[in-house]
Structure formats: C-alpha cells, structure tokens
Structure 1
Amino acid sequence: MPNSPRKLISFDWAIKKILRSKANFGILEGFLSELLFTNIQILEVLESESNQDLPDDKFNRVDIKVKDSEEKIYIIEVQFSRELDYLQRILYACSKVITEHLPKGVPYAEVSKVISVNILHFDLGKGDDYIYHGTTRFIGLHNQTELELSEEQKNLYAVKKIADLYPEYYLIELRNFNNVAKNTLDEWIYFLKNEQIEDNFTAKGLKEAKETLDVLKMTPQERLAYERHQEDLHYQASMYQSTYVLGKLEGKEEGKEEGIEIGIVIGEERGIAIGEERGMKKALLQTATKMKKMGMSHHDIAEIMGLTLEEIERLFDSDKNLL
C-alpha cells in the first residue's frame, strides 16, 4: 500500500511567514502562473498596511509587484481567508492597494492594475464552481454592445480593453473542489485544500512547495507557533458558527416571544425581526467578549469580525442591555 503524501504547512501560514522571502518566490510564482495562464515573475513584496505582520494578525495576505510574460507590470494581492463578510471586503482591499501604491502628484493613467486572488475556506454565495473570475465591463443599455477603448486610449494605457484597467478578482472556493485534479491548476487547488502534494503532480511551483513547506523541517519553536495558529483557526470557525448560526436561531426564539407580546401593535413578523437582530447582537457581543479576554485589541476584533471599530465600540457599550 503506497504511503499517503506528507502533510505540508497550510498555505495561509506560508503566505504569512515563508513566501515573502525572495528565496521562496518560486512557489508563489508557480501558483500565479498556473492561475493566470502566463509566466509570472515576482519583482518585490510591497510594504503596506495589508502586509503588516502583527502578533495578533489573523489575516494572511501579501501584496506583490509582478511582471508577466509580456513584460507588463502590475500588483497582485493574494489572501487566504475564512471570513464570512467578504464581497465588500475584497472591494475595499483592492481600493486600498491602489491608493497606497499611487505616488502623489502622478496622473491617474499611472494607476496600477490590481489582481485580487482570494482563497476561500467557506461558501461565498450560490454557485457550483470552485474558481470564479470577475472583471469590469460596460454594456450599453439599449444595444447591449460593450464599450471599447479608442486607439488613443489603448496607446495611453498600453492595454487592449477597458477590463484591463480595472481590478480583476479570482475567488477560489476550496469546499467546491472535488479533489480530482484534471490539470496543473487543479493540482494547486488540491494542495490548497488538502495541504498535500501527490507524487505525480507537475504544476509550476509545487516541487518547491513540497520541499519548503514540510512540517517536519520546522524548528520546535516554529512548529509550536504553527500549531497555535491552527488552533486559532479552529477557534475562529467556532466563533463564526456561534455568531452567525446559533445567534440567529437564538434571536428567532426571543423574537417569537417578544412578537407575541407586541403582536397587537406591530405584529409577530416585526417581533421576530427585532428578536433576530437582538439575538445576533448578543451573539456578536459574546464572540467579541471572548476575543477581548484573549488579549485582542478592539481594532483586531473589528478586523476579524468584519465590523468597523465604531461598531465594536457601540457593541461593548450595549452589553448591559444584551447580556
């Protein structure tokens, strides 16, 4: 019976701790080359707020400047996430990358092309595919024709179509992948989902990943930090479960009771809605309180839960009425 592939370091931890080193660029270059169907060369890791390496940082993302096979240079943001509040978050992240890396005083024609690559450990919306690609297009309301660049604009921007100017989004939903690798890109998806690389895989970068991301090669200190990271991910998952699922169920029950009491005035439907909202707030507060007891700052709690700092502050201010 053949031995099963060795368990490797998870890609989110690799992004955070390993793949920012120039010596390991080949791994990310391989993944991006397979995803974008062009040879990618990483020029540098960009310093930005998105790349801060804080002790309590739960987000695993890296912004990199790259060059493709046509010598075009642009920015790719790669992030590995288990967040539930996400579609608006990737829009915000892209906008932030653009503004952070646009020098003051330069014309808008110098705005960098950004590609957002998002590796997701949860179901984002409804769909049966595991890789989604989003671009910006302008379609006429009357004739349904697509707006195109003029020849002057093509020369100015050095692109062929309008979509090339705007951010592109890749959403990789690992849960939807059936573990059958039909091509080299699928081999990467298999690794991202299972943290294993089969001996017959040939995708770019996977050979380097297999060597570099071997858990057994970690020092005792590195392995301890990695195990804590894995435990924290399990904790986050349970917190989201209690916040978004159990909290809603609890809210429905409270809402039914309150709806009965005030049903004559505003009806049971309104009562259930009030109860659901109160139940969700209560669950959010319970989650935030646990995180605070773990030593997390209000800023980190807001980032993890997908809320603003002001919303977290208001949530803690309302604890007397909710708990």
Structure 2
Amino acid sequence: MGNYIRFDWAMKRLLRNKVNFGVLEGLLTTLLGERIVIRKLLESESNQADEFDKYNRVDILAENSKGELILIEVQNNNEYAYFQRMLFGASKLVTEYINRGEGYDKVRKVYSVNIVYFSLGHGTDIVYHGKTEFRGIHNGELLELSPFQKQTFKVDAVSQLYPEYYILKVNDFNQVAKTPLEEWIYYLNTGDVPEGASAPGLEDVKERLKLDRMTKNELNAYYRHLDNIVILRDNIFTERAEGRAEGLAEGRAEGHAEGLAKGRAEGLAEGRAEGLAEGRAEGLAKGRTEGLAEGHAEGLAKGRTEGLAEGIEQANRQNARSMKAKGIPVDLIAEITGLSVQEINSLN
C-alpha cells in the first residue's frame, strides 16, 4: 500500500476543497500539455446512492479559466459499455451547460478524463487520446475551419470544438517512470510518488495527501474504503472465475459433440473420396489386364482364322497355275479351285 491517499478517495473527500485544486490542476496540466487553472467545481454525479457505485466510481467536474468543462472520472471495476458511458457523459455536459435559446456557438468545450483500474478494450498503451476529425473519403483530406471560424471561435482545428477523451489505464503501468505523465500514472497505480518526481501537482500530493495527516476516524473510514474495493474486486473476480469455469465445461461438452459430428462427417466424406479414387485405380488396372488378355485371345483367334483363309487361297492359286500350265480349260479350273475366271486369267 502506498504512502499517500488514493486518488479516488481524495477526489471524494479532499480535492473539492479549493486549497487542494493544485493536485487536479497538476494532473490536467501534465495530461493536456497546457497550463490548466481550475476556476470552480460544478455539480457532478459523484454522490451515488447505489452501494456498488459508491466504491466503484467517483467523478468530479471542473471549469477551467477558459470556461471549458473537464470531467474527471475514476472507475475501479470493469464496465463492458464504458466507451458508451464516456460518450453519454460528455454529451450530457454539452446539452446541460448551454441555456435554452442560446446559439450553437455557445456550446462548451468538454474534456473527458477517465482513470480506469481495469482492462478497457484491447491495446498495449497506458494513455489513449480520442478526438473528432473529418476526412475526405476520396482523398483523405482533413476538413479545416475557415479563417472566419478560427477568428470567431479562437481555435485552429475542428477537433478543438468537439469533446476530447483521455483514457488512463493505470493498472497496465509496470515500469520506471521517466516522464511527468508516467510519474502521475505511477502514483495513480501505486499510491506512491516516484523519488525525484517533477510532474506538476505531485508536490501537492506529497504535501496534502499524506496518510499521516488524516485523523483516526478519517483513517478508519479510508481503510474501510480500501477493504470495500478489495472485496468488490474479489467478488467480481470470483464471479468471473466461476463463469469461466462453467463456460469452459459447457464449451468442452459442446465442442466434443460438434467435433464428433464434424469428424464423422469429414471422415465419411474423406472415406468416400478415397474409396472412389482407389476403386477407380483398381478398376482401371484390372480393366487394362483383362482387356489385354481378351484382346490377345481375340487377336490370336482372328489371326488364325485369317491366316488359314489366306493359306487356302494361296493353295488354290498355286493349283490353278499348275492346271493352267497343263492346258486344263479355265472353266474347269474355276470350278475346282473356286477362283473366278478373271483371277485365273491374271495368273502367270
């Protein structure tokens, strides 16, 4: 546990006092990169009646010397729709802090600073900045203000007219603080101020937010607050762990059933495909073998038949030549050999 009072407790009990504005001003100056002077604090949602919100969330609404609104919120535990919550909070301020009948040029600039002690979204940085820009969908050109608008609204870019959002994921910081902003993140995470810290506001933390400056009753209340946060986180962790275990068991059962069904279907399809391929290959090989044997037998039989016929014809021709040479009449030779008269006459 750190040597200094947690920031959310300080926001509830101490930082609303004007003498302690230096702490908030230091944080905002470091974060926004310009000197921030808080003129006054405005009504916010900090006094939650809900027991969960009492320990889970605290916010403070400030107005700076330029009339801009700055909503600072600390969130201890996960809220799945927190991004929408940020949008709602900033939009609500825009509509609440303009009088009916006033022109839109009176809309106030809003900064939404969100210090979260849970894993919000998916990212590896510890500080995120969101703003509104308009870019051409064909050429990517940034839409800018006209010279008249710049002069009238005293800003240089369209984004400066819209709410800006900052998210500080303090639980993800686990390194040596090297910059003023990292020094602040270190304090928000651990409750300690890094040795040699120079960030604006941290001197005020060391002077005004020491634990030993609290009375016994204040210290008891503070420790109860810390215990409640621990219990709150433990309950949520337990519920998540139980939910994960149940989900894992159900997922395994469903996965086993789906896997079995899918395996059977895929196995059947693969078996059919392999069987078809093997059957085709075997059929082709067998067909070739049988076809070769049948072709050989048919060719042999046909060759024998054709050879026999050709031999008989050659014998008849030879006999016809002999009889023709002995002077036997052609008609008689044709009758004996079966050759035509033309064939006999053509024999030498």
Same fold by TM-score greater than 0.5: yes
Q: CA deviation at 1:218?
A: 1.0
The one-letter amino acid of 2:73's match is: Q
Partner of 1:164: 160
Q: How many angstroms does 1:27 deviate by?
A: 0.9
Say whether 1:219 aligns with 2:215. yes
How many residue pairs get aligned? The number is: 255
2:243 aligned counterpart, secondary structure: helix
Q: CA deviation at 1:151?
A: 2.1
Structure 1 residue aligned with 2:67: 73
Partner of 2:245 in structure 1? 249
Q: Which residue of the other structure, out of 23, 30, 33, is the alignment partner of 1:27?
A: 23
After superposition, give the CA deviation of every residue in 1:44-87 in whole Å (9 maximum; x if it has no partner). 10113x233658423211010012xxxx3311111111232221
Q: Residues 6 and 129 of structure 1: is their aligned pair in 2 closer, same or farther, counting only changes over 3 Å?
A: closer
Does the 8 Å CA contact 2:69/2:109 hold for their aligned counterparts?
yes
**Which amino acid letter does the alignment assign opposite residue 185 of structure 1?**
L
- 2:59 corresponds to 1:61: yes
Matched letter for residue 125 of structure 2: D
The partner residue of 2:118 within 101, 107, 122 is 122
In structure 2, the partner of 1:51 is 46
Q: Which residue of 2 aligns with 1:106?
A: 102
Q: Does 1:83 align with 2:81?
A: no
Matched-pair contact (CA < 8 Å) for 1:177–1:189: yes
Paired residue type of 2:109? K
Distance 1:199 1:256, change over 3 A: closer
Deviation digits for residues 12-62 of structure 1 (CA, Å, limit 9, x no counterpart): 1111111011110011111111111111100110113x2336584232110
Counterparts of 2:173 and 2:70 in 1: how far apart (Å)? 23
Identity rate, percent: 39
Runs of 4+ in 1 over 3 A off after TM superposition: 53-56, 242-245, 254-261
Partners of 1:12 and 1:60 within 8 A in 2 = yes
Distance 1:217 1:170, change over 3 A: same
Residue 110 of structure 1 deviates from its aligned partner by 1.0
Q: State whether residues 51 and 63 of structure 1, in contact with CA within 8 Å, keep that contact through their aligned partners in structure 2.
A: no
Distance (whole Å) between structure 1 residues aligned to residue 142 and residue 77 of structure 2: 34
8 Å CA contact retained: 1:45, 1:63: yes
Secondary structure of the structure 1 residue equivalent to 2:142: coil
Q: Larger % of helix: which?
A: 2
Q: What is the Cα deviation at residue 244 of structure 1? A: 3.7
Closer, same or farther in 2 for the Cα pair 1:159/1:238, shift >3 Å? Answer: same
Is there any run of 5+ residues in structure 1 with no aligned partner, and where?
Answer: 269-323
Residue-by-residue CA offset, 1:176-232 (whole Å, 9 max, x unaligned): 223311122221111111101134112111111112111122111111111111111
**Equivalence for 1:277:** none
C-alpha distance in structure 1 between counterparts of 2:37 and 2:13, whole Å: 20
Alpha-carbon distance in structure 2 between the residues aligned to 1:246 and 1:87: 26
Following superposition, the deviation at residue 252 of structure 1 comes to 4.5
Which residue of 127, 132, 135 corresponds with 2:128? 132
Structure 2: distance between partners of 1:136 and 1:242 = 39
Are the equivalent residues in 1 in contact too, given 2:119–2:169 (CA < 8 A)? yes
Quote the Cα distance in structure 2 between the aligned partners of 1:244 and 1:162: 42
For normalisation by structure 1, the TM-score amounts to 0.72
Which amino acid is 2:62 matched to? I
Partner residue of 2:278?
Answer: none
Indicate the residue corresponding to 2:279 in structure 1.
Answer: none
Task: Supply the distance in 1 between the matched residues of 2:9 and 2:83 (Cα, whole angstroms).
Answer: 23
Cα distance in 2, alignment partners of residues 51 and 104 from structure 1: 26
Q: How does 1:149-228 map to 2 (within 5 A)?
A: 149-228=145-224
SS of equivalent to 2:61: strand
Query: Aligned pair in 2 of structure 1 residues 100, 245: CA closer, same or farther (>3 Å)?
Result: farther
Letter in 1 for 2:101: G
- Inter-partner Cα distance in structure 2 for 1:80 and 1:16: 11
Q: How many angstroms apart in 2 are the aligned matches of 1:167 and 1:243? A: 35
Distance 2:96 2:255 in 1: 49
| CA RMSD of superposed structures (Å) | 2.4
Whole-angstrom CA distance in 2 between matches of 1:239 and 1:147: 48
